Chains A and B, each alone.
Chain A
Amino acid sequence: MSELTEKLIRDSFPDAVVETSDVFGTLNVKITPASLVGVCELLHENGFDYLADVTAIDWQDRIEVVYQLTALERNEKLALRVDLNRDKPEIDTVTPIWRGANYQEREVYDLMGVVFAGHPELRRILLPEDWEGYPLRKDYVIPD
């Protein structure tokens, strides 16, 4: 099943796929940031109707955003990954495709400082609005 999905992405966006891996049976596809919205629209049209999770990891040389998708009808899981420049992490929002991304992207922005371009209301959600810094970054200094 996941071979078909990989082929679908590769056929439609030949330059988008950076690498693929298998994480405990789930296909993980790393794509270029510029192709994210296009790939997401393609996947959404092809059954991936459920955005389970959005999160980000600070690898200290880059920030990686990970999207966990599910195609409910055929019970297929897929993770999309993008590497962002740590000094200026910015990526297009997927909220127009999955409205469930709204809160999740706000959370990633709030705690990791990733800017989601085009997001309808990108502001802090868990922390106070005047909070400084992004706590889940590895170089964040915890205030006393």
Chain B
Amino acid sequence: MSSRIRTELVEVNMGPQHPSTHGVLRLAVTLDGEVVVECHPDVGYLHRGIEKLAEMRSWIQFIPLTDRLDYLASMLGNAAYIYAVEKLGAIEVPERAEYIRIIMMELQRVASHLVFFGTMALDLGATTPFLYSFREREDVLDLFEMVCGARLTYNYFRPGGVSRDLPAGFAEKCKAYIKKQRSKLPEYDDLFTNNQIFIARTRNVGIISAEDAINYSLSGPSLRGSGVAYDVRTADPYSIYDRFDWHVITYPTGDVMSRFMVRVMEIRQSLNIIEQALDALPEGELKYKMPPRLKLPAGEVYHHIESARGDVGVYLVSDGGEKPYRLKWRAPSFINLGALNSMVKGWKVADIVAILGSLDVVLGEVDR
């Protein structure tokens, strides 16, 4: 008898204003009862035409715009662009600047993963972990403020170096932070990671196989959560990551829990890298002077780095002038979002929030 009950599919809009969508994102969801049949992300609310804007700015003037893509990991946005510019222009970087960059990039990864930890908890109804992780992130922002004066949009990297040397007392403060952060991580686990409700909401939920994850071009922790050990830092090495003792984190299951755990464990790896970089930081003053006008030779380059959300690729085409002829930004959040529909199908509407949260998208980067 039950199969004869007439049911209708219902269309539900989640967003564009919705606390769990991490920004301005609309999900057009088709539901059969509580079960998701289709889920189509509608993006573009924050589209600013960054790639077109790049064509109207000099190579140097574009740096501040890279802060405004993935605004939870602006240092890594800076880095992606600057490494591409340096590759095309064959620009040398002093040792000390490279170590400073490593410290900044990994601090940024920690800060970004802390936001993820907090918002993931918040999405699942736990408000306290959010306060914990933002408390520690505040210390990272203080360090960034010390270095470049800004707390969110840093504009710190320059072709051939960074905008200024580390201030006096930075290393001590940074080491104190690492110690504090390490002591807090078990507290996070006690409070949240080992929580029964959290485990029930995330284990075996929203599974994507390694094969599918690769086919959908997922990257970053969302790909490594499916057991694929692909990290640009080791797969296509840049900067000086090969000088430090660390390893790529993967979890095999491909569920929400795996993607969550990859990020939590990456915090520890990043802290290790920062600590080693601080110890190995070459002494002396940073000798670096930015050319007042930068021209890049005609040609093109595709360079990518491992950002907090995945594989950020920067494709530059130069006609030999002071401005990019074409600039393309491969945004991992945008591409990862493309797999959402296949991941939420068949799950309950409440799981959408958990699965979307586990992809850790930033809409500034999705929409560009």
Contacts known (A23-B301, A55-B328, A68-B302); A98 close to B217, Cβ less than 8 A: yes
Closest to B42 in A: A125
* Stretch in A4-12, A31-39, A84-92, A99-107 with 4+ CB within 8 Å of B: A99-107
Q: Separation in Å of the A40 CB from the closest CB of chain B?
A: 13
- B313 beta carbon closer than 8 Å to chain A: yes
- B177 beta carbon closer than 8 Å to chain A: no
Contacts known (A75-B236, A100-B216, A103-B335); A53 close to B315, Cβ less than 8 A: yes
Indicate if the CB atoms of A24 and B214 lie closer than 8 Å.
no
Indicate if the CB atoms of A126 and B311 lie closer than 8 Å.
no
Indicate if the CB atoms of B215 and A100 lie closer than 8 Å.
yes
Q: Separation in Å of the B335 CB from the closest CB of chain A?
A: 6
Q: How large is the interface on A (under 10, 10 to 19, 20 to 34, 35 or more residues)?
A: 35 or more
Q: Which of A69-117 contact B (CB under 8 A)?
A: 72, 75, 77, 79, 98-104, 107, 111
* Stretch in B47-55, B105-113, B182-190 with 4+ CB within 8 Å of A: B47-55
Q: Which of B35-76 contact A (CB under 8 A)?
A: 43-44, 47, 49, 51-52
Indicate if the CB atoms of B228 and A53 lie closer than 8 Å.
no
- What is the 8 Å Cβ interface bit string for chain B, positions 205-216, against chain A (1 contact, 0 not)? 000000010111
CA distance A24 to B301 in the complex (A): 7
Indicate if the CB atoms of B311 and A52 lie closer than 8 Å.
yes
Contacts of A23 in B (CB 8 A): 299-302
- B367 beta carbon closer than 8 Å to chain A: yes
CA distance A128 to B328 in the complex (A): 20
- B87 beta carbon closer than 8 Å to chain A: yes
Q: Separation in Å of the B250 CB from the closest CB of chain A?
A: 13
Contacts of A72 in B (CB 8 A): 214, 228, 230, 235
Indicate if the CB atoms of A99 and B228 lie closer than 8 Å.
no
Indicate if the CB atoms of A127 and B47 lie closer than 8 Å.
yes
> How many of chain B's residues have a CB under 8 angstroms from any CB in A?
39
- B304 beta carbon closer than 8 Å to chain A: yes
Contacts of A124 in B (CB 8 A): 44
Q: Which of B1-54 contact A (CB under 8 A)?
A: 43-44, 47, 49, 51-52
Contacts known (A75-B236, A125-B43); A49 close to B215, Cβ less than 8 A: yes
CA distance A140 to B342 in the complex (A): 36
Contacts of B346 in A (CB 8 A): none
Closest to A100 in B: B217
Closest to B317 in A: A57
Contacts of B339 in A (CB 8 A): 99-100
- A136 beta carbon closer than 8 Å to chain B: yes
CA distance A135 to B235 in the complex (A): 34
- A51 beta carbon closer than 8 Å to chain B: yes
- Choice from A58, A100, A126 contacting B44 with Cβ under 8 Å: A126
Indicate if the CB atoms of B338 and A103 lie closer than 8 Å.
yes
- What is the 8 Å Cβ interface bit string for chain B, positions 313-344, against chain A (1 contact, 0 not)? 10101000000011010100011011100100
CA distance A40 to B141 in the complex (A): 45
Q: Separation in Å of the A116 CB from the closest CB of chain B?
A: 14
Q: Separation in Å of the B344 CB from the closest CB of chain A?
A: 15
Q: Separation in Å of the A121 CB from the closest CB of chain B?
A: 9
Indicate if the CB atoms of A125 and B215 lie closer than 8 Å.
no
- A46 beta carbon closer than 8 Å to chain B: no
**A-B contacts besides A55-B315, A99-B339, A127-B44, 8 pairs, CB < 8 Å:** A23-B302, A24-B303, A57-B325, A75-B235, A100-B339, A101-B217, A126-B47, A136-B326
Interface residues of B (CB under 8 A from A): 43-44, 47, 49, 51-52, 87, 212, 214-218, 228, 230, 235-236, 299-304, 311, 313, 315, 317, 325-326, 328, 330, 334-335, 337-339, 342, 367-368
Q: Write 26 A-B pairs (CB below 8 A) sorted by A numbering.
A: A50-B217, A51-B217, A52-B311, A52-B313, A53-B315, A53-B328, A68-B302, A72-B228, A72-B235, A79-B302, A99-B216, A99-B339, A100-B216, A100-B217, A100-B218, A100-B339, A103-B334, A103-B337, A104-B338, A111-B51, A126-B44, A126-B367, A127-B44, A128-B44, A135-B52, A142-B52
Q: Return the 5 tightest CB-CB contacts between A and B, nearest first.
A: A100-B217, A103-B338, A126-B44, A55-B328, A126-B47
